[in-house]
Structure 1
Amino acid sequence: MQRKLFLLPLLFIVLTELSAQSSLSVEYIMRDPKWMGTFPSSARWNDSGTQILFRYNAENDPADSLYKIDLANTSEIKKVHWPEEKSLRKSSSTFNGSKTLRLYLDDQKIILEDLKKGTEKVILTWFQNLNNPSFLADENLISFTSQGNIFVLNRTSGEVKQVTNISSGNDRSKKKEDGEEKLGFLEQDNLDLLQVVNERKETAKERKAYRESIQENDDKFTFYTEGKNPINLSLSPDGKYATFLYFDRPSNNKSTIVPDYVDASGYTTNLNTRPKVGTEPTKSEVGIYDLSRDTVYFVSTSELPGIKDLPDYVKDYPEKTWEEKERDVILSQPYFSPNGEKAIINIRSADNKDRWIAEIDLTTGTLKTLDRQRDEAWIAGPGIGWSFSGGTMGWLPDNKHIYFQSEESGYSHLYLLDVTTGEKKALTSGNYEVFDPFLSNDNKSWYLTSSEVGPGERHFYKMPVMGGKKIKLTSMTGKNDVTLSPDEKNLAIIYSYSNQPEELYLQENKEGATPQKLTDGQSEEFKAYNWRDPELIQFTAEDGASVPARLYKPEASKNNGAAVIFVHGAGYLQNVHKWWSSYFREYMFHNLLTDLGYTVLDIDYRGSAGYGRDWRTGIYRHMGGKDLSDQVDGAKYLINTHGVDSEKIGIYGGSYGGFITLMALFNASDVFTSGAALRSVTDWAHYNHGYTANILNTPEEDPIAYRRSGPIYFAEGLKGNLLMAHGMVDVNVHFQDVVRLSQRLIELGKDNWEMAIYPVEDHGFVEPSSWTDEYKRILKLFNTTLID
């Protein structure tokens, strides 16, 4: 079939659109989402466990508000008004070991709540701002920070003691080697010329020296930071050590600018945004303040195993000499054992290849490595943590076992490690992932969410603290986002299914208990349409991998032989599952396309979340490699299995999905007739460091990876019909990306493309008018180029 020109006569467009009908339209589904109804989010419990609190909008307000449901009367949903909502907000809230007492801040006061008695009292009114009130191991003692130092309050006596003495200034006792003040030229010349001025200066020096000689000598230890700003001050539970972090953010990293042409002022304004990939990483240090010895020293990482290891990709650059040196690392805040005698720390290499968990010798700052995770791609996965966060990590009450998550097995699982013996034990295992584990109130059990039933479902489990049989507590097919009540008797569940948005349920914390539905937020208008439950399928990729996908099939009588493949964004994101998608607009658009006779395929391509380490890292050093070939193999699957015409296949997506769309139109032009690339990356060297350096390293060190991953380098391959759409104030993927690609297409003489720009939109569109315009253009592209 000869490919059609992008712009066709209006009559043909009208006849084409009349060939299949839908009760849906782009204008209908892209309205303000309020038309769909109101759906609960962010469920939590009140302190007594008698009320479920959640975000909702039952009164059609401009934004969601806080609502509540009393367990004594679950049929009534009440709005929480501001005075009550304010009383529920507990700033810097922290509990004692048994969770019977809680501390929180109210302006410059520390409030102590007795959760069993339901009472509270002010235990300290401070004269300036304070933060982070915490119980020490002796729960009669409360630590807090103020003005850059740590203080301890004795609850019985009311005495407050400052336990650290940290100053941001310079140590004036450190004299210059020659003992003399060095003067600049102008000052020295002035003193030589003007005798009175010189005499006055000398007199002032003599008076200062005399005052200092008669003052009492203060031997109190002070640690001077020399202008650095210590953060995350923390006192060990035994009160013997304090720790803090320094962050060194390089000042020479150049930020990018995004012009805002429609600022309310009427002037073009510049938005200062992120630097680009390859910038110098932020460095961190961890200081230890020994309160008994009045000294400060820093954690040393020089002896970490493999600290000088080079990545495998250096073999692709034989002409380059690689220096063997200590790699930069990023340190988390230390995690103290409950008794304060031990501490562990999470350390990541700045090149993303290593993660160390180490025990700190609190007397010296030296490290003993407990676990090293090396990944020649990059360290990540559920519960692993990013940058300065340790992710899932902490101590059991026995003061010798630590817990953490690791992808050592290829999937993110929960581990225990005995710091006294080094013995490590996997508490969970299998081809599934674990999410958000936490300890029960009595510390005898774990609660966790996992994908054990299948990658398309999420369920809540209970498991013995040292491992063993898991009890599956939820039963509804889909996603169960559970919040446990404070007394652990009930579950508040935000539940959704593929074609059913989120609703709130209540269930007893028992295996086999029946969940009770508490909300019914869908509007009658939304319920009127029979939203599809897409089929979850798998097809075989060229390398033999089974690729998961969502399939939308039209009725046989409407089937037009055309297909559209949707590419989700973010790269590391899952959209093939049995719960309500965050891409709800696209989901509704796929229902519209299917009504019109299209077959729609939505693929969790290589790089997507939910399928373990190998799937996650399948795009390492080549974006547009296996993630693109998965789309091509999906197209072949549609042709071979569902009778799709090989010359009637379109593709579209936003952000990472826009990037793949460009690569598809440029590098697989024999497969895809048309594509819509929305807010797409066109050159990864122009994206941010935190995301891109994980996958492609840096352009300075690994230019091969960037050259083969950048759509702009392959633009000459465009043969089909391309629509690009981009917000002009996108501070994530900058408008500059499509501007540069447009110039490249112009220079190549390509005329089978067009661009739609959205002057008021950031990366995620907000205005219904923008969504409507964009998707009308996408539908027009497919209707005019894929349908006979």
Structure 2
Amino acid sequence: MKKSLLFLFLAALSFNIFAQSFSIKSVLSYPFPTQLVSSQIGSKIAWAANEQGKRNIYTAEAPSYKAVKITNYNEDDGQELTSLSISADGKWIVFVRGGDHGGRDGGPVNAASSAIAPKVEVFTIPFAGGKVNLIAEGDYPLISPKSNQLLFAKGGQIFLSPIDGSSSAKNIITIKGTNSAYKWSPDGEKVAFVSNRTDHSFIGIYQEQKTPIKWILPSFSKDNAPVWSPDGNSIAFIRIQGTGGETDSILKAKHQAWGIWTVDLKTEKGKQIWKAPETLRGSFPSIEGGANLMWANDKIVFASYEDGWPHLYTMKTDGSNKILLTPGNFTVENIKLSNDKKTLVFASNTGKDVHDLDRRHIFSVSVDKANMKPLSSGLGIEAYPVFSADGNQVFCLSATAQRPLLPAVLENGKKPQLIGKDLIPNDFPIGELVTPKHVNFKAADGNTVYGQLFSPKKTAKNQPAVVYVHGGPQRQMYLGWSPMDYYSIDYALNQYLVSMGFTVLSVNYRLGLGYGYDFHKPRNAGAQGASEYQDVKAAGEWLANLPHIDPKKIGIYGGSYGGYLTALALGKDSKLFAAGVDIHGVNNRFSSAATEGKLPAPDAELAAKVATESSPVTYIKTWTSPTLIIHADDDRNVAFNQSIDLAKRFEDLKIAFEFLAIPDDTHHWMKFSNGVKVSDATADFLKRKLMDKK
């Protein structure tokens, strides 16, 4: 029979059966910062902080860098703050309130189940605080270099508004396609943008409404990521093949060709200045920011995976003298260019400590030579760097194994100077959290698997253990708090499970970032064979062989792609995994495999067979371990129907399971209370099935 988790976990709370030294709510009460930005004048920064669901904007400026809250949103209503930016004159902050920008559909979210659903809206507020101006319903605002206007998108079209909201916004571009990726020219007089026409896309230049759009080298390709030259006379952009036409094999990996083009706007003549190597590694990089194309004075800077690691490259504007700026076996991400366009700053998993492979530190490099140098080091996590206006300081988000993320200043190689330390609640259990340890082991095929082992401060014989499987799958878990909000919740839950007496192994399986191209892009993964599942199974077996672990009390949990791998574990290896929590996982891969190619593909029949074998529901008859299914029904990343399908199969076979369905929230627990509910339900279930089990 099935049981509602709402009743069970409320009962557990009522009787306080866990007797924890700290609660799940207290370890989730940290003020999670996002959207860190800096001004182009003075030493000013701003960020958004999620404090137990209450999302507000904070500012700080030299010399004290005291955190000042300038908005006053006091409800846990699931309305995120995004697109934060500061005007060039330092006077205005622009932001968007609403939506789920981590989902495939970033539209309005009503996680609080309000009778009147919220909207996605653009706002401005003076940097010093004051009146919040509603500009209009819309998204992705971009401030003019003159600081007096901003662009934003609505319904795939582009609008223009005064930054102070003194007059109504007007629709300036209404043409075919979904129009986005707009960039002001350096003088603020023109706008470059991308018009996506589904199977192809054009780059256009808007000057004013009476003048027709100027299309830049239109072709049968997908053109994107336009960047202006500093003088505004040229544009560089990325060109990728258009889609459609000949049907490709589903199961065979294929190179995705791409190149960098420039065009002289006066002569309207352009050329391809660089073409990616025609190898799998040379394909368009599926990393944060894609190619991260930048025009830095007399250099073109971009990112590529061509040598097996996501690195930064530079070349002259004619494509000559290409230089690898960041050589080495590490990942480069969170890339920013200084205001003078001479220096790049970024986060990377390298450093003096061998285990920096599972951390992030901040580095800088010149745009014209490979002189990479560290700006942070040690046992912490630093990410999302931004330059100060003069380039003499770098700000970032900083964390440790115990302390959650806070904004920080990096200066002269010193330890990060934290900003807003007093925002961490007094009851946050920082002194009771453990430091995870880097581990690695082998999968059945010899592949090296990486992970972080969370161990209780007091060990005992026959301890229960849990394998945690992250989502993505293109993610990496660290030896400290994750700088991504979704995974910071899971990190807190792992710490909570340890406080209960579990040993927790967070597994970085193949398909994830941080370990090179071959790890990130393995063969026969996902719906094409689920080869990455070997790593998850190996994690469970590795735990089972630890002398203090009871091999009959190993559980597993994960969300999204981690939910998919959790479900595979429970279906294929119930003897190894005694219980598990499948949080909004993909349980049936057949439908996704059918759309990966343009059917009928030459190997469509074989691909369908492999996708079926890669689907957890295929193993429903050998799925004997107790299972908790969790899903929110406004999920924009994994269809709620995936959990409905699994539940129906359990019901048809009279297999007992437990469930927690959450109305109106999304994949990312936009409401803090829902994040607490999901984490508490997960911990409660694992305790009842693994600790209370005799």
Between 1:353-362 and 1:405-414, the stretch displaced more is 353-362
Displacement of 1:684 in angstroms is 3.4
Specify the alignment match of 1:323 in structure 2: none
Specify the alignment match of 2:495 in structure 1: 591
Counterpart of 1:66 in structure 2: which amino acid?
A: I
Displacement of 1:50 in angstroms is 4.5
Counterpart of 1:49 in structure 2: which amino acid?
A: G
Displacement of 1:638 in angstroms is 1.4
- Residue among 551, 566, 585 paired with 1:646: 551
Specify the alignment match of 1:768 in structure 2: 673
Secondary structure of the 2:439 match is: strand
Displacement of 1:433 in angstroms is 1.3
Structure 2 matches for 1:208-247, cutoff 5 A?
245-247=194-196
Displacement of 1:621 in angstroms is 4.6
Specify the alignment match of 2:361 in structure 1: 459
Displacement of 1:397 in angstroms is 2.0
How high is the TM-score relative to the length of structure 2?
A: 0.71
Specify the alignment match of 2:401 in structure 1: 498
Q: Does 1:719 align with 2:624?
A: yes
Between 1:538-547 and 1:376-385, the stretch displaced more is 376-385
Displacement of 1:568 in angstroms is 1.3
Displacement of 1:287 in angstroms is 5.4
Counterpart of 1:498 in structure 2: which amino acid?
A: A
- Residue among 326, 329, 335 paired with 1:437: 335
Specify the alignment match of 2:308 in structure 1: 410
Counterpart of 1:706 in structure 2: which amino acid?
A: A
CA distance in structure 1 between the aligned counterparts of 2:455 and 2:150, rounded to whole angstroms: 62
CA distance in structure 2 between the aligned counterparts of 1:456 and 1:68, rounded to whole angstroms: 30
Displacement of 1:644 in angstroms is 2.7
Asked if the contact 1:576–1:604 (Cα under 8 Å) also holds between the matched residues in 2, the reply is no
Structure 1 residues 548, 642: CA separation in 2 closer, same or farther (over 3 Å shift)?
farther
Displacement of 1:426 in angstroms is 0.7
CA distance in structure 1 between the aligned counterparts of 2:32 and 2:625, rounded to whole angstroms: 41
Displacement of 1:706 in angstroms is 2.9
Structure 1 residues 40, 758: CA separation in 2 closer, same or farther (over 3 Å shift)?
closer
Structure 2 matches for 1:105-184, cutoff 5 A?
133=144
Structure 2 matches for 1:85-100, cutoff 5 A?
none
Displacement of 1:739 in angstroms is 1.7
CA distance in structure 1 between the aligned counterparts of 2:56 and 2:200, rounded to whole angstroms: 40
Q: Does 1:523 align with 2:520?
A: no
Displacement of 1:497 in angstroms is 0.8
Counterpart of 2:56 in structure 1: which amino acid?
A: S
Specify the alignment match of 1:538 in structure 2: 440
> Per-residue CA shift, 1:202-233, capped at 9, x if unaligned?
xxxxxxxxxxxxxxxxxxxxxxx7x7787778
Displacement of 1:664 in angstroms is 0.8
- Residue among 560, 566, 582 paired with 2:462: 560
Displacement of 1:296 in angstroms is 6.3
CA distance in structure 2 between the aligned counterparts of 1:564 and 1:143, rounded to whole angstroms: 49
CA distance in structure 1 between the aligned counterparts of 2:350 and 2:566, rounded to whole angstroms: 32
Displacement of 1:410 in angstroms is 1.0
* Unaligned runs of at least 5 residues, structure 1: 8-13, 83-88, 106-129, 136-141, 152-165, 169-224, 250-281, 303-328, 386-390
Asked if the contact 1:41–1:54 (Cα under 8 Å) also holds between the matched residues in 2, the reply is yes
Q: Percent identity?
A: 22
Structure 2 matches for 1:349-368, cutoff 5 A?
349=241, 353-360=255-262, 367-368=271-272
> Per-residue CA shift, 1:133-159, capped at 9, x if unaligned?
568xxxxxx99999x9999xxxxxxxx
Secondary structure of the 2:427 match is: helix
Displacement of 1:661 in angstroms is 1.1
Specify the alignment match of 1:63 in structure 2: 54
Secondary structure of the 1:501 match is: coil
Q: Does 1:636 align with 2:627?
A: no
Structure 1 residues 533, 752: CA separation in 2 closer, same or farther (over 3 Å shift)?
same
CA distance in structure 2 between the aligned counterparts of 1:675 and 1:149, rounded to whole angstroms: 46
CA distance in structure 2 between the aligned counterparts of 1:635 and 1:346, rounded to whole angstroms: 43
Q: Does 1:284 align with 2:197?
A: no
The alignment covers a number of residue pairs equal to 583
Secondary structure of the 1:632 match is: helix
Displacement of 1:415 in angstroms is 0.5
Between 1:652-661 and 1:468-477, the stretch displaced more is 468-477
Specify the alignment match of 1:260 in structure 2: none
Please tell me whether Structure 1 or Structure 2 has the larger radius of gyration of its CA atoms.
Answer: 1
CA distance in structure 2 between the aligned counterparts of 1:472 and 1:502, rounded to whole angstroms: 20
How high is the TM-score relative to the length of structure 1?
A: 0.63
Asked if the contact 2:523–2:531 (Cα under 8 Å) also holds between the matched residues in 1, the reply is yes
> Per-residue CA shift, 1:728-766, capped at 9, x if unaligned?
33333222112222333344x252434332334432333
> Per-residue CA shift, 1:397-438, capped at 9, x if unaligned?
23xx31100001111111112353644221111110112334
Specify the alignment match of 2:578 in structure 1: 673
Asked if the contact 2:37–2:84 (Cα under 8 Å) also holds between the matched residues in 1, the reply is no
Secondary structure of the 2:422 match is: coil
* Unaligned runs of at least 5 residues, structure 2: 5-10, 73-81, 95-140, 161-171, 244-253
Q: Does 1:755 align with 2:672?
A: no
Asked if the contact 2:482–2:491 (Cα under 8 Å) also holds between the matched residues in 1, the reply is no
Displacement of 1:768 in angstroms is 2.7
CA distance in structure 1 between the aligned counterparts of 2:292 and 2:562, rounded to whole angstroms: 30
Secondary structure of the 1:675 match is: strand
Asked if the contact 1:565–1:600 (Cα under 8 Å) also holds between the matched residues in 2, the reply is yes
Secondary structure of the 1:664 match is: helix
Q: Does 1:338 align with 2:230?
A: yes
Structure 1 residues 417, 785: CA separation in 2 closer, same or farther (over 3 Å shift)?
same
Asked if the contact 1:67–1:78 (Cα under 8 Å) also holds between the matched residues in 2, the reply is yes
Asked if the contact 1:730–1:762 (Cα under 8 Å) also holds between the matched residues in 2, the reply is yes
CA distance in structure 2 between the aligned counterparts of 1:69 and 1:667, rounded to whole angstroms: 52
Asked if the contact 2:630–2:660 (Cα under 8 Å) also holds between the matched residues in 1, the reply is yes
CA distance in structure 2 between the aligned counterparts of 1:512 and 1:239, rounded to whole angstroms: 38
Structure 1 residues 297, 770: CA separation in 2 closer, same or farther (over 3 Å shift)?
closer
CA distance in structure 1 between the aligned counterparts of 2:627 and 2:676, rounded to whole angstroms: 18
CA distance in structure 2 between the aligned counterparts of 1:295 and 1:494, rounded to whole angstroms: 40
CA distance in structure 2 between the aligned counterparts of 1:37 and 1:233, rounded to whole angstroms: 35
Asked if the contact 1:674–1:782 (Cα under 8 Å) also holds between the matched residues in 2, the reply is no
Counterpart of 1:549 in structure 2: which amino acid?
A: G
Q: Does 1:29 align with 2:20?
A: no
Specify the alignment match of 1:511 in structure 2: 413
CA distance in structure 2 between the aligned counterparts of 1:543 and 1:335, rounded to whole angstroms: 44
